[in-house]
Amino acid sequence: MWQPEDGWHPLPGGTGPSTIGVWRAASGDRAIVVKRLARPDPGDPAEFSDPRHAAYWRREADVLETGIVARTRGLRGLAAAVEEDAAGMTITREWVEDAAQSGLFVAHALGRFAGSDLARTAFLAHDVLRQRLARTDRLAGGWPTLARTTVADVAEHLWRLRSTMLDLLDGLPQVPQHGDPSLSNVPGRDGDDGIAIDWATVGIGPVGGDLGFLSLTAREEFEPLLDSYLIGLPEGLAARDDVLLGARITGVYTAMSRAEWALARVAGGEGALAGKYRHPAVAPHLLALQRQFANIEALLGW
């Protein structure tokens, strides 16, 4: 059975449904990163084996092995060695030193990446937000924990509008997207390009979608991020209003879902729910949601 070697140091970020773990290791005098993916078992959800689903278990390995992001503009991936066995896959790549990127640089890179000529391979993710909201509906019937908070009415209204909002996303220009463009997933830089890692959800999605994801973790406010994305976006690919709508819907619905997930994890403990808003596992998600209030108001037409 596969096991990490002695001396490997566990790294954060190994939270995908098929990720066993991520480690920093050494190969001679070179620092490397090793990531282990588990092959789905017969009883695992069917989406783990669906190449178009966001949870497809081997997408990152396929992306790196085929090299489809080796020369893309805006964001690029590193060369990696991929080894497959009966239990899963092992990805080994060079360590990327943190270049302390700003959110503005990453937003600009995401705009450029949206104009990349990304090979339309069978394993690219599609309909990521729709799939995630469908899972929330299936497991919890919506955002029941948020219904116990001061945003209850807003959450209920947004949940009822989800199909309309998803249809609006479908009508936007569909472009390449990283799918999880946090600052920690774009640690390196080469000129105007960001060196990105964790390509597990790369695919095709609505223009502005990646910007919506980034807005949840970037330090900068939404408007400067939007401007940087638009500067990077190739001329004629999409209108500003298209980008704005894609970013707003993606950011708002993702922020609501993440806040629900975080609150639900602590809601069963002793004490009032409001007393847990400062819990370290909850507070960052609530802060991200608060920063989306202007976008929520715009979506609801306030």
Q: Which domains does the chain have, with CATH numbers?
A: 9-94 (3.30.200), 103-300 (3.90.1200.10)
Average pLDDT of span 198-203: 95
Q: What does the alpha-carbon distance between residue 27 and residue 8 come to, in Å, rounded to a whole number? A: 11
pLDDT by residue (tens digit) across 88-102? 999 999 999 988 899
Q: What does the alpha-carbon distance between residue 114 and residue 204 come to, in Å, rounded to a whole number? A: 9
Q: What does the alpha-carbon distance between residue 260 and residue 146 come to, in Å, rounded to a whole number? A: 6
Q: Is this prediction's pTM over 0.85?
A: yes
| Alpha-carbon dihedral 155, 156, 159, 163, rounded to 10 degrees | -140
Question: Counting beta carbons within 10 angstroms of the beta carbon of residue 27, is it exposed (0 to 12), middle (13 to 18) or buried (19 or more)?
Answer: exposed
pLDDT by residue (tens digit) across 149-160? 999 999 999 999
Question: Counting beta carbons within 10 angstroms of the beta carbon of residue 5, is it exposed (0 to 12), middle (13 to 18) or buried (19 or more)?
Answer: exposed
pLDDT at 31 exceeding the cut of 90? yes
- Give the pLDDT of residue 240: 97
Residues of the chain by 3-state class (helix, strand, coil), percent to 5: 40, 15, 40
Q: Which two tokens stand for residue 251?
A: 């950011």
Question: Counting beta carbons within 10 angstroms of the beta carbon of residue 133, is it exposed (0 to 12), middle (13 to 18) or buried (19 or more)?
Answer: buried
Q: What does the alpha-carbon distance between residue 154 and residue 296 come to, in Å, rounded to a whole number? A: 8
pLDDT by residue (tens digit) across 179-194? 999 999 999 999 889 9
Output 263-270 pairs: Cβ under 8 A, ≥24 positions apart: 263/145, 263/146, 263/149, 264/140, 264/144, 264/145, 267/145, 267/148
- Give the pLDDT of residue 302: 65
pLDDT by residue (tens digit) across 207-228? 999 999 999 999 999 999 999 9
